[in-house]
Chains A and B, each alone.
Chain A
Amino acid sequence: MKLNKAMNRRNFLKVSAASGTGLVIGFNWLAGCTPTSPEMSIPKSWTDINAFIKVADNGLVTIFSPNPEIGQNVKTSMPMIVAEELDVDWKKVIVEQADLNTVKYNRQVAGGSQSIRAGWEGLRQAGATAKQMLRQAAANQWQVDVSDVSTEMGQLVNSKSGDKLGYGDVAVAAASLPIPDEVELKDLKDFKLIGTSVKNVDGEKIVTGKPLFGIDYKREGQLIAMLIHAPAFGMKLKSYDAEAAKAMPGIQDVFKLDTSLEEPQWSDVNAFNDLIVIVGETTWQVMKAKKAVNAEWVADTPLENSEDHFAKLVDGVERQKGRVLREDGNADAALRSASKVIEKTYTAPFLAHNTMEPMNFFAHVTPEKAELVGPIQTPESLRGTVMKVLGMTEDQVTIEMTRMGGGFGRRLYGNFGLEAALISKAVGKPVKLVYTREDDMTQGTYRPAYRVKYTAGLDENNNLIAFKAKAAGIPGSPLFANRFPAGTVDNYHGEGVNVATNISTGAWRAPRSNFIAGAEQAFIDEVAEAAGKDPLDFRLELFDRAINNPVGDNNDYDAARYAGVLKLVKEKANWTQDMSGVSRGVAAYYCHNSYVAQVVDVVMKNNEPVVQKVWCAVDCGIVVNKEGAINQVEGGIVDGIGHAMYSQLTFKDGKPEQENFHQYDLIRHMQAPEIEVFFVENDIHPTGLGEPSLPPVMGALANALYKATGTRYYNQPFTKAKQADEILVG
Chain B
Amino acid sequence: MIQGHFDEKKGLNSTRLKLTTMAIFNIKVNGKTREVDVEPDTPVLWVLRDHLDLPGTKFGCGIAQCGACTVHADGNAIRSCSTPISAVGDMEITSIEGLSENGDHPVQQAWIEHDVPQCGYCQAGQIMNAAAFLDKNPNPSKEEIASAMSGNICRCGTYTRINAAIQTAAKKS
Residue numbers of A with Cβ under 8 A of B are 70-73, 197, 199-200, 202-204, 206-213, 215-216, 218, 224, 246-249, 282-285, 287-288, 354-358, 403-408, 434, 436-437, 627-628, 631-632, 634-639, 642, 660-662, 666-670, 672-675
Contacts and interface: CB of A to CB of B under 8 A. Distances in A.
B25 interface: no
B103 A284 contact: no
Given A209-B57, A282-B50, A358-B59, A70 B157 contact: no
A137 B122 CA distance: 47
Contact of A356 (B53, B62, B63, B153): B153
Give the top 5 A-B pairs by smallest Cβ distance, nearest first: A209-B56, A405-B121, A638-B157, A71-B119, A209-B96
Nearest to B158: A635
Contact of B58 (A356, A636, A668, A674): A356
* Residue from the set B147, B157, B158, B159 with the largest chain A CB neighbour count within 10 Å: B157
A200 B115 contact: yes
Contact of A662 (B65, B151, B152): B65
Nearest to B110: A207
Contacts of A288: 39
A203 B119 contact: no
Interface in B8-33: 16, 18, 20, 22
Nearest to A693: B157
Contacts of B123: 206-207
Report which residue of B3, B58, B160 has the largest number of chain A beta carbons within 10 angstroms of its beta carbon: B160
Contacts of A632: 118
Contacts of A636: 157
Interface string B44-74: 0010011101111111111101101000000
A637 B155 contact: no
B38 interface: yes
Query: Which residue of A209, A662, A673, A674 has the most chain B CB atoms within 10 A of its CB atom?
Result: A209
Given A203-B117, A283-B49, A356-B153, A210 B5 contact: no
Mostly, the B contact residues are loop
A542 B47 CA distance: 61
Given A249-B20, A356-B60, A634 B161 contact: yes
A437 B38 contact: no
B107 to A, nearest CB: 8
Given A211-B56, A660-B62, A667-B157, 10 more contacts: A71-B118, A203-B111, A207-B111, A208-B103, A209-B95, A209-B97, A248-B18, A637-B157, A639-B157, A666-B155
A406 B150 contact: no
Given A284-B50, A355-B155, A672 B55 contact: no
A126 B20 CA distance: 58
A661 B153 CA distance: 9
A406 B3 contact: no
Contact of A406 (B42, B49, B155, B163): B155
Given A218-B55, A356-B155, A207 B117 contact: yes
Bin the interface of chain B by size. 35 or more
A255 B37 CA distance: 27
B115 A197 contact: yes
A209 B58 CA distance: 9
A404 B66 CA distance: 18
Interface in B102-143: 103, 108, 111-112, 115, 117-124, 127
Nearest to B49: A283
A208 B96 contact: yes
B68 A356 contact: yes
Contacts of A638: 157-160
Contact of A283 (B46, B120, B163): B46
A357 B39 CA distance: 25
B66 A661 contact: yes
Contacts of B163: 669
B170 interface: no
Interface of B: 3, 5, 7, 16, 18, 20, 22, 38-39, 41-43, 46, 49-51, 53-63, 65-66, 68, 95-97, 99, 103, 108, 111-112, 115, 117-124, 127, 145-147, 149-163
B146 A670 contact: yes
Contacts of A637: 157
A634 B115 contact: no
A662 B68 CA distance: 14
18 contacts: A71-B118, A203-B115, A204-B112, A208-B97, A208-B108, A215-B59, A246-B7, A247-B16, A356-B66, A356-B154, A357-B58, A403-B119, A405-B121, A406-B155, A437-B62, A662-B65, A668-B150, A675-B160
Contacts of A282: 38, 42, 46, 50-51
A181 B112 CA distance: 41
Contact of B146 (A213, A224, A249, A669): A669
Pick the most buried of A72, A356, A437, A634: most chain B CB atoms within 10 A of its CB. A356
A213 B121 contact: yes
A75 B56 CA distance: 20
A115 B127 CA distance: 30
B121 A356 contact: yes
A669 B96 contact: no
Contact of A210 (B38, B56, B62, B152): B56
A68 to B, nearest CB: 11
A634 B158 contact: yes
B18 A247 contact: yes
Contacts of A283: 46, 49-50, 59
Nearest to A202: B120
A207 B162 contact: no
A470 B136 CA distance: 56
A327 B7 CA distance: 68
B157 to A, nearest CB: 3
Given A71-B119, A356-B153, A661-B153, A207 B103 contact: yes
A210 B156 CA distance: 19
A643 to B, nearest CB: 10
Contacts of B5: 247
A211 B50 contact: no
Given A437-B62, A662-B65, A669-B152, A356 B122 contact: yes
Nearest to A406: B119
Contacts of A354: 155
Nearest to A205: B120
Contact of B55 (A70, A209, A246, A285): A209
Nearest to A636: B157
Contacts of B145: 669
B81 to A, nearest CB: 10
B153 A666 contact: yes
Contacts of B51: 282
B155 A661 contact: no
Contact of B157 (A211, A215, A284, A635): A635
Most buried by A among B5, B115, B120: B120
B119 A631 contact: no
Contacts of B61: 437, 660-661
Given A661-B61, A669-B146, A208 B56 contact: yes
Contacts of B20: 249
B55 A405 contact: no
A284 B43 contact: yes
A384 to B, nearest CB: 25
A249 B18 contact: yes
A354 B157 CA distance: 13
A72 B118 CA distance: 6
A160 B101 CA distance: 50
Most buried by B among A72, A282, A403, A405: A405
